[in-house]
Amino acid sequence: MKNRDYNYSSEEFKREDAYLRAQKRLKEIKGFYWHALWYVLVNVFIVVMIAVNTDGNIWHFGTFSTPLFWGIGLGFHAMGVFGKNIFFSKKWEKRKMNEFLDKDKKRWE
């Protein structure tokens, strides 16, 4: 009887642990999307304000320095949330390998 209670308790712990990990992951992704939203809104505002106050002459480093450096920070935030392989994940590699093998197979048929 004790063994059964222990397994139930262990299973309950696993479910709660999975829930907490999912909740943390959701919070990280949500934080990134808020960061990206503020990046776009603030930088559009900055560029528009510079364009209005300089008679449309926006082509200098000062105009784009904030979006550039903040964008680098946003990129690091994305890597922290989604991992290093945002675009070239293992799933993508496998799909491309299968695509190349299929093309090669058709060529030899």
Helix then strand then coil, % of the chain, to nearest 5? 85, 0, 15
Q: What is the pTM of this model?
A: 0.70
Question: Is the distance from CB of 66 to CB of 46 less than 8 angstroms?
Answer: yes
Model confidence pLDDT, tens digit, residues 63-98: 899 999 999 999 999 999 988 777 777 888 888 899
39-56 per-position pLDDT tens digit: 999 999 999 999 899 887
Cα 39 from Cα 35, distance rounded (Å): 6
Question: Under a CB-based contact definition with an 8 Å cutoff, are residues 71 and 39 in contact?
Answer: yes
